[in-house]
Amino acid sequence: MVAFNAGSAIGFTWEITGLVWLAGLVFTKRTVRSQPSGTRLFHIALGALGFALLGGHWFRQGWLGMRFVAPLHAFTVAGLVFTVAGCAFAIWARLTLGSNWSGRVTVKEGHELITWGPYGLTRHPIYTGLMTAVVGTALAGGEWRCVVAIVVILLALMVKMGQEEKLMLQTFPLAYPEYRQRVKALIPGIF
């Protein structure tokens, strides 16, 4: 019963995060430039595969469905805590970014370089939060498909992050290099 409740709470956490993203679409500025369609489709496909591995039932066959951790209450609770904390951090970052945000890599009209709040901790705090939540969900799930999901989702975010870095360097040629030297990409003080 505890695993079911934690699983429901994890699902609810992801649903709330998705609703915040959908609601934010209404308040974005007009796009001036965006990433090439090919890289966008590539990272979307990788992300979709990763989240299907993480939360879907299609990959629970064979070795992907085998457990990498015992189904212990402590792992489930830790997974729930990481998922909630990661989604909360991503939401904070999304709200801080405000109307500069876009689902695709873009430069908005009147785009601002945001360097405060969660952006003072990492350059890509939405991805930091999402990866923390993905690791938490994987820990609670405890199956090898979840480990593969972590790798695939991280790869998708790294592809998107590379596009964002390139666009920010072009848009803020003086401020962004200094910001890059001062603030790490995903893990504060490390990477």
Quote the DSSP letter at residue 123: S
pLDDT value, residue 136? 97
Task: Report residue 62: phi and psi, to 5°.
Answer: 60, -145
**pTM of structure:** 0.93
Q: Once rounded to an integer, what is the mean pLDDT over residues 15-21? A: 96
**Helices first, then strands: H and E counts in the chain:** 6, 2
pLDDT value, residue 73? 85
Instruction: For residues 82 and 135, give the distance between their C-alpha atoms in angstroms, rounded to a whole number.
Output: 7
Question: pLDDT grade, residue 1 (50/70/90)?
Answer: very low
Question: pLDDT grade, residue 4 (50/70/90)?
Answer: low
pLDDT value, residue 37? 87
Instruction: For residues 5 and 7, give the distance between their C-alpha atoms in angstroms, rounded to a whole number.
Output: 5
Q: Once rounded to an integer, what is the mean pLDDT over residues 6-29? A: 92
Question: 86-127: per-residue pLDDT in tens?
Answer: 999 999 999 999 999 988 899 999 999 999 999 999 999 999
Q: Once rounded to an integer, what is the mean pLDDT over residues 155-180? A: 96
Yes or no: say if 32 and 105 are a contact pair by the CB < 8 Å rule.
no
Question: Domains along the chain?
Answer: 40-101+113-191 (1.20.120.1630)
Question: 52-94: per-residue pLDDT in tens?
Answer: 999 988 898 899 999 988 878 889 999 999 999 999 999 999 9
